Homo-oligomer: A and B are copies of this chain.
């Protein structure tokens, strides 16, 4: 296990899906940031399941408690302890899975690696693990917003084969994105996506999707080549989220099909600094931010736990049919949005803290 992220702004998380609590320690947060639970709760609430009939009905308040690091409404510069109690501690529903590992889930690999695993839910591999990250990232978001006006926005750009139109450079707000339950700001596409998710749910299947994320108002110079290039640490952060299968920055895979003369972003004077006229680079050149918006896309596979009957095998290798009991999320991408945004904030925050001392 390695549940700590960051070099100077360090986040360490804990918690299984059906244990007592989940949470995190945020170490390295600058002192004198005004902070209360109210600053952290909104992203946790956006992440919460049970917000629509499309997601798992596990309704938990997910109220965060600050255990340390804040006094008189301001951070002390000391570790910030964060905790969210689990209300749903009952095991159950998962009896059959004790002998049949779910295909494409972590049941098998956890059992092989640790010789033990949480008996119910996904334990540490559950999406519930992300609560600690989201709470920590909400703190980073607040600091970055105050310091640089940084704004991080993510939305659903595809569900299954339904794509939203390209809206990367439009001025999207979280309110706009949250205005429909699939969190896709292209209303026409959103309607089709919702329909697809419902049909998928009805036949006890699941479906994948793609998110886009844009971070604006980014200081120039973030990123630590060569191994900690900005996009490299961002990719690590994104691929550490459950169910992620792909990451692309700027032009991404499409960029691999272009010529240099098309792909290169020409420089131009812009708001008193050197900017670029296009942004195939996604805001990063040579592993270092160039001041343009950071733009990236990530791919989520369909959730592994489905109610449909699947032919598979037991841990012992015997043929078996698995039909997962209970209700499971047919599509996780809308709930993934606050996770993506806050993880982006964690990466940004750590790089800001790591900036080398500069002579005046």
Contact = CB atoms under 8 A, between A and B. Distances in A.
A356 to B, nearest CB: 5
Contacts of A240: 225-229, 232, 287
A300 B25 contact: no
A38 B305 CA distance: 36
A206 B20 contact: no
Most buried by B among A74, A113, A236, A253: A113
Nearest to A354: B8
A256 interface: yes
A260 B290 contact: no
28 contacts: A1-B28, A2-B27, A3-B225, A10-B12, A12-B27, A14-B67, A14-B81, A16-B68, A19-B68, A21-B81, A31-B115, A71-B116, A75-B116, A76-B124, A105-B286, A106-B288, A113-B288, A125-B286, A161-B257, A207-B258, A227-B240, A236-B236, A253-B253, A259-B302, A261-B306, A264-B302, A268-B312, A280-B301
A313 B267 contact: yes
Interface in A285-299: 285-290, 299
A294 to B, nearest CB: 13
A276 interface: yes
A359 B31 CA distance: 9
A226 B315 contact: no
Contacts of A221: 109, 112-113
Interface in A122-170: 123-125, 129, 147, 158, 160-161
In the complex this chain forms, how many copies of it are found? 4
A13 B225 CA distance: 11
A266 interface: yes
Contacts of A101: 267, 274
Given A4-B27, A103-B267, A226-B129, A109 B285 contact: yes
A191 interface: no
Interface string A5-37: 101101011111001111101011011100000
A158 to B, nearest CB: 6
B30 A358 contact: yes
A193 interface: no
A300 B280 CA distance: 12
A246 interface: yes
